[in-house]
Amino acid sequence: MISDLRQLRAEVVASDRIGKRELDLICRRLYPEGRLGREVVEFLASIRRRVRSVSPAFEEFFAEAVKLNVLVDGAIDAKGASWLRRLLRVGDGIDAGAKKLLGELQREATRISPEFQRLYDESR
């Protein structure tokens, strides 16, 4: 699976953007097997960091994949917050898409850990 993901990443990154064609390619390769675990989300984040342009459709797809992995019974625990911190950091900051995602998580969560609250506050 790792070599398949590397090949997919190379194909997507080669275009230096994630548009409709690239998103379709990602979905065709990842969804047939129903894979949306943390490994796949981390893979998507690695692609997202390597391109200059990301379509709104990809941001929405990415956000939903993150939510499936971090909102456990509506809550974001310390472990989930730590994973998000590693996943969303780019250099020394968080980009606009990641800030939007953190805002959505803040609104959608029924309970949040102090660690998530700190990450959210730092992103503002």
pLDDT single digits (tens) 111-120 = 999 999 999 9
Stretch among 19-28, 37-46, 99-108 having the lowest mean pLDDT:
19-28
Residues 49 and 79 occupy one common structural domain: no
Report the C-alpha gap between 110 and 48 in whole angstroms.
Answer: 28
Kindly state whether residue 59 falls inside one of the protein's structural domains: no
53 strand-pairing partners: 17
Based on the structure, what is the number of domains in the chain? 2
Q: Which residue has the higher pLDDT, 100 or 29?
A: 100
Task: State yes or no: pLDDT of 63 exceeds 90.
Answer: yes
- Residues 124 and 76 reside in one and the same domain: yes
In-domain check, residue 33? yes
